[in-house]
Amino acid sequence: MRMIALACLCFVIARPMIGGNSFFSLSSNSPEMLVLILDRSASMDIGAHSNLKSKRERALEIFDQFVEPWPESKIALVESVYEEPFFLSEIQALKDSNFKDFTGQTDTSSSLTRTLLKTLEWMKKTQVGPAEILLASDMQRSNWGENKSSNQFSRIDKILEQKKDLWTLKIIPLNSKSSYNISLRVNKIARSKETIKPSLTLKQSKSTNPLNSVDIQKSLNGESENLNLKISSNYTKWHTTFNLKKQAEEGWGSIKLNSSFNKSDDHYYFTYGKNSIPQVGVLSLNPVIENVLRSAAQNSDGKIAEPLILENLDNKKNTQRRMVIQQGAISKAVSESLDKFVKQGGTLVLFPSENKNLNNYPFLSWQELEERNEDQAFTIQSWSKEEGVLKNFADGASIGLDYLSVLKRMVPNQGEALAYYGDGKAFLSKFTHGNGLVYAFSTLPLDSWSSLKDGYILVPSIQRIMLESSSVMDSSNDLICGSEETKNIFEYSCIDLPEQKKPALHAGVYKINGKLTAINRPLEELDNEIFTLSDLNSKLPNSPTLQELNESKRSTFKRSEIWTSFLYLCLAFLLAESLLGIPKQSKRKQKKNV
């Protein structure tokens, strides 16, 4: 009995705990540091089911419970926007309004691979000892960048393998889906002198009782108009018009849903200016082709497109254009300039070289030159007549591609075909490159090549591409929320909600360096695909298997001390031993002397 009591006394001194990943552990294993990694991407502010709290808010609650058993451990927080670790004197400090910039809602995306790597490298550099690392995220696949972050995954894997006896990485996957949500995406914005015409797509998540309509608020320079839009399916396309007749030459606008569950994917902002109507430049060494293309790209005032000079392709005036039409052989330097132009959001329309494939693009190549006689000319057999740059006219008349006669062609190898020859090869292809678009024709507007020079097909297709190229009002002033550019903006004023937003955290309209700038959330935040724990483990083959903590099972991250129970047991056993050690009295009683 005494030995059992002594054993209980030892456990009292050791202060054991229960819960977590093991049934029983000793406080001597308490980590030196608790590192909390918070995903603050826009999708983390979606609620789930009947829970009115966002995933981000639930993550903060989980952090609170996770650190509770280790009051003696240091606490460090790393969030996905600024990615800089800072220490907390106590976990309750996260509820302080002073920490709102580090824990509040954002319109950003995340690069969790980069955030995790930066955190581990910081821990390694500062020689952190035993540590528990908890990463809370909705595990949106786009935020892990698996195709772009192979080197980062390898470096994470190496560090975790080296520190496997000291550090433990746990994941809280907050990937439950919301019961209802509508997201807004602007596909393009057509700009003319007096109007702005956005084309949008509304996506409604699956719900047992989907809405039949949604309230939308349009704003132009602070003046709002409320609309009610009927919704017929999970995907609804919608077009609207902003009238600029009585507006200032420079201004801003927004479109906002009033019935969305997620406040980060329900709005879009844009700016416009007197120079925001798309400008087109033509680059060709053949004067005949240049004149045809310049005429086809004339603006609404009848002014033909300006010619571009190879030597000045990188000057500021040219880089601010929305669209460039290029034909013929070019140097590597020009190719790199055009590559940069498209990646930054420009539209590039390409035509093949006259003699042979001399075009030197890193993103496009053509097949070998093919020729036919007039009686066996290539003809166009199929194309989309309902949408796109080759669609029918408003009165239903066809653009007339079936009458086009092609004697020579060089078919582009890349892109989605918008029209097909009789043998199935592409007449015109289209693809995205960076933030911009590339169109590639397979023939030239020369009599020796095709009848494209007549203009019946070339002019409407070029004009429609010009409208599509104005998908951003003034792209030089538009930024993505959370980008490095927005993080380096320190002097600004918020226009749509004065003194309530920051460019690095919130979408909106800002005045920066005297110019109106629209900042919107990254499009990848609309991605619904999940990066599972098995996917993450496969990227880290040499590391210990990552532990998943289940949010619904609070015992997986709640621990409690039980040393007081052993103290009571010790006292009980000592008391029992004392009682058992008392000698028994004799049954005979000595008689008293009379």
Strand order in the sheet with 515-520: 479-480, 515-520, 508-512, 493-494
Q: Residue holding tokens 């209802």?
A: 180
User: Rounded CA gap, 246 and 96, in Å?
Assistant: 46
Mean pLDDT, residues 546-565 taken together: 59
Please give the pLDDT value at position 532: 92
pLDDT at 564 over 80: no
pLDDT band for position 474 (cuts 50, 70, 90): very low
Mean pLDDT, residues 353-376 taken together: 84
Please, what sign has the CA dihedral across residues 307, 417, 456, 275?
A: negative
Average pLDDT, the chain: 82
505-534 burial string, b = 16+ CB within 10 Å, else e?
bbbbbbebeeebbbbbbbebbbeeeebebe
Please give the pLDDT value at position 395: 83
Q: Which of 269-283, 470-484, 559-573 has the highest mean pLDDT?
A: 269-283
Beta strands 267-272; 280-284: pairing state: unpaired
29, with CB counted inside 10 A (0-12, 13-18, 19+), is exposed
pLDDT digit string, tens, across residues 571-591: 776 677 676 666 655 554 444
- Comparing 262-271, 445-454, 468-477, the range with the smallest average pLDDT is 468-477
pLDDT at 247 over 70: yes
Chain-centroid distance, C-alpha 445: 41
pLDDT at 554 over 60: no
> Across the strands, what pairs with 47?
54
Among residues 403, 531, 552, 481, the alpha carbon closest in space to that of 113 is found at: 531
- Give the residue ranges of DSSP H helices in 235-343: 287-296, 316-319, 332-343
SS (H, E, C) 385-453: CCCCCCCCCCCCCCCCHHHCCECEECCECCCEEEEEECCCCEEEEEEEECCEEEEEECCCCCCCCECHH
- Comparing 2-11, 109-118, 469-478, 572-581, the range with the smallest average pLDDT is 469-478
Please give the pLDDT value at position 204: 79
Mean pLDDT, residues 92-114 taken together: 90
Q: How many CB atoms lie within 10 A of CB 344?
A: 13
Which strand (E) or helix (H) includes residue 503?
Answer: none
- Comparing 49-53, 155-159, 358-362, 382-386, the range with the smallest average pLDDT is 49-53
DSSP string, 25-46: EEGGG--SEEEEEE---GGGG-
Please give the pLDDT value at position 333: 83
Rounded to a whole number, what is the distance in angstroms from the first to the last CA of the chain? 46
Report yes or no: 207 and 164 within 8 Å, Cβ to Cβ: no
Report yes or no: 503 and 486 within 8 Å, Cβ to Cβ: yes
Which two structure tokens, joined as six digits, stand for 91?
């976990």
